[in-house]
A and B are shown apart, each in its own frame.
Chain A
Amino acid sequence: MKKKSLLSLLLATCMTAGLLAGCGSTEAPAEEAPAAESEAPAEESTEEEAPAAESSSDEPVTLTVLAGQSTTDAGIEDMIDEALAAKYPEVTLEWECVDWGNDFQPKMQQYMQSGLPDIMIGKAQDVATYAPQGILGEIDSTYLDKGLDAARENVTIDGKTYGLVYNALYQGVYYNKTMFAENGWEVPKTQEELQAIIDDCNAKGITPFASHMIDTWSIGNVTMQFMMNDVFNNDPTWGDKFRAGEVSFAEDEAAQTAYQYNKLIFDNTYPETFSTEQTDCDAKMVLGEAAMKVSGSWSIQNFLDIDESFDFGIFPFPNQTGDSKLIFEPNITIMTSAATEHQDAVNKVLDVLTSDKELAVEILDYTKTASMLKDVTPTFTNPSQADIDAYAADGMIVDVTLGNNQLVWGGFQEENAKDIAAWLQGDESFEDCLKASDGRVDASSAN
């Protein structure tokens, strides 16, 4: 009996100790937070240590890197390693590469409890999520100055810049130029013009749109494209008003129109879209099985891998007012931990990334993306570049970070996309789909 009691006591002690240890661990960020939140020391340290990148100490350092990658990015870590080894052999990077869409946020949440990696690579919109938590370090102007000014706007909070935007994607409707020329189609600017092309496609047995709705992210992505041109173009603070209860999906016609464009695509794509992956979809586009695809620069890698002579262009998905802008998305964004113990080494990495133009071109050519560094131009042939340049010259380009910062991806856009998919498949009414988006208002902001 005594033994049993003793055993029970030990069991209870173990559990209590474990519980206390578990609860105790949650205090760690509380202790770290003030240090992180008091931005002055972080600022001081970066400013003090920035020149250290020039006068390198040769002690070997291993930095941890969490890289939330897009489909185009896998492989750039080897290029960075190689360039870093050439200039700063004493700095080694320990990479943890994850899928940005699915795994970056969970990993960040995990590391916010246990301590952040020295460097994090995500997207520009992540800065708005994590900088207010006081965990990101300010990026020194030595490195920021090597980037385009346009890259800073959406990664700067209260005058402090927490992200170094490295490259950019463009989003819109990719179209098969040859097919357009053969059929006498002009790039549409209005919904009516787009509908005319769709009707002609259908009449000629051509699938108007290639799509891969099995990937819910693709529905979420195109919906934000539509929201940008039909909603945020007219009301740049729509997301904030949504949280303030001034607008809603159930009542806002423009937001509903943006959702309805998904139906337009669904009704004019092949029936197996919910069983088609991105690679298969891109192949259909390249093989001339569809005329258009609402997508982003991430498709270019596939397009050119499948057929390097594939001729394509890009135009913004026409909105109701005929003044759609091409979507621009700052992509690879380097963030640093405010609590890193190796600021000197972190700066060396930033130095390599911003000053090694050969590396930059190599990365841009590989990812088939646009540069956000000054005086760096990728050398790959991008058939849609002429279109991008034309929209840029006309000032018809808009940064999607505006929308992504107000209506976050994880927990909101991503979940809304599932309802849109259910609605498209007839499993949910349009009203319920809108209601579900409205019901998620609390999850629409990162903070």
Chain B
Amino acid sequence: MNEKKKISYMEKKMSRQYFLMVLPGFIIFTIGLIVPLILAVRYSFTSWDGMTVEKPFVGFKNYIDLMKDSEFRNAWWFTLRFTIWNTIIQNVVALLFAVALDSGIKAQKVYRTVLFVPCLISALVVGFVWMKMFSNVLPALNDVLGTNINFLLLGEKKTVLQGLLIANNWQWIGYWMLIYLAGLQSVPGDLHEAAKVDGAGPVSRFINVTLPMLAPAITICVVGITTGSLKVYDLLVSSTKGGPGRASTSVIYQTYTTAINGRQYGYGCAMSVTLVLVLLLVAMIQVKGLKKKEVQV
């Protein structure tokens, strides 16, 4: 009986400790994320302009208007294309770099550092740097080389996505590569040895041993890149400002200009609520789908 009481007391004490440790984070999370989210939902049902005291209730009007808003649809179309290409390119290239670095090549640390450094730079700076690259530095190469390559990628609707993908991938590939590299280095050597004994070649070992063991890293990378790309904003601010025209206007950019510059706070909140819902949905589907493929050792 005493033993039981002792365990119960210990459990209570532990629970209290866990609770105290969680509390600061929980309060910050609630004030910084949950409350604004709830307020955004509330404002999304109003026609508030962000300045006046009155917040006239308009029901679902903002959401109905969103369905008919071609600018919002275009913003989603750009964001989706940016996200899909980013997810594919960054995952594939980051994994290839990680495999290359894991193969024991010389100066591995140098390559790793060089590839990782861009992600330490602010996206605002990256956008500015690449805008200068595309409009000044690279076109000067044409003069030197006597070529006529179109480097003005950010100046046209049909090429602006490519330009932004180059800038974004340049910045983030090194970061995701490190996660893959960590995953690769944690794959037990015994598994490779066993596969080798069974007669598996390098490609077969990569597909049947390495990739399944990398599933947790793939989950992190895919979800991280997807949600990060869906939220692209700062890169656009310093490079294209959503242009030319509206060719590179992302959902967040459109939300910001509508809510703040356009003084349609309520409508902008409706835009952000839809983005949150899509982000949640995408993350849930990806995590569920990818978790199934994860292998526990």
Contacts and interface: CB of A to CB of B under 8 A. Distances in A.
A26 B131 CA distance: 40
Interface stretch (A14-22, A51-59, A140-148): A14-22
Contacts of B243: 214, 216, 274, 418, 421
Contacts of A133: 51-52
Contact of A15 (B38, B260, B262): B38
A264 interface: no
B202 interface: no
B53 A275 contact: no
The range of chain B's interface size is 35 or more
B246 A418 contact: yes
A46 B289 CA distance: 66
Contacts of A19: 35, 38-39
Interface in B21-75: 26-27, 30-31, 34-36, 38-39, 42, 50-53, 55
Nearest to A277: B135
Interface in B147-176: 152, 154-157
Interface string A124-137: 00000000010000
A31 to B, nearest CB: 9
Interface centre among B19, B131, B136, B152 (most CB of A within 10 A): B152
B231 interface: no
Given A22-B39, A23-B39, A105-B261, A213 B31 contact: no
Closest 5 A-B residue pairs measured CB to CB?
Answer: A422-B245, A275-B155, A411-B262, A274-B155, A18-B35
B263 A410 contact: yes
Interface residues of chain A: helix, strand, loop or mixed (majority): helix
A228 B226 CA distance: 46
Contacts of A443: 262-264
Nearest to A421: B245
A410 B245 contact: no
Contacts of B26: 11, 14
Nearest to B43: A26
A272 B262 contact: no
B207 to A, nearest CB: 43
10 contacts: A14-B27, A15-B34, A18-B35, A18-B38, A106-B261, A109-B260, A410-B263, A422-B246, A428-B245, A443-B262
Contact of A112 (B36, B51, B154): B51
Interface string B104-139: 000000000000000000000000000100111001
Contact of B55 (A26, A112, A276, A414): A26
Contact of A418 (B30, B50, B135, B242): B242
Given A23-B39, A275-B155, A411 B246 contact: no
A44 interface: no
Contacts of A277: 131, 135
Contacts of A275: 134-135, 152, 154-155
Contacts of B245: 418-419, 421-423, 425, 427-428
Contacts of B249: 418
Contacts of B98: none
A353 B220 CA distance: 56
Interface in A1-15: 3, 7, 11, 14-15
B247 interface: yes
Given A274-B156, A425-B245, 12 more contacts: A18-B31, A19-B38, A33-B53, A109-B50, A109-B260, A272-B135, A275-B154, A410-B262, A411-B264, A414-B257, A422-B244, A428-B245
A252 interface: no
Contacts of A427: 157, 245, 247
Interface string B237-268: 00011111111010000000100111111000
Interface of B: 15, 19, 26-27, 30-31, 34-36, 38-39, 42, 50-53, 55, 131, 134-136, 139, 152, 154-157, 240-247, 249, 257, 260-265
Contacts of A216: 241-243
Nearest to B135: A275
A30 B139 CA distance: 55
Contact of A276 (B27, B34, B135, B261): B135
A106 B35 contact: no
A214 B155 contact: yes
Interface string A389-420: 00000000000000000000011001100110
A273 B157 CA distance: 13
A29 interface: yes
A443 B262 CA distance: 6
Contacts of A422: 157, 244-247
Given A274-B156, A425-B156, A425-B245, A14 B30 contact: yes
Contacts of A22: 35-36, 38-39
Interface string A95-136: 000000010011001001000000000000000000001000
A421 B155 CA distance: 11
B59 to A, nearest CB: 18
A280 interface: yes
Contacts of B31: 18
Contacts of B240: 214
A280 B27 contact: no
A277 B127 CA distance: 14
Contacts of A423: 245
Contacts of B152: 272, 274-275
Contacts of B30: 11, 14-15, 18
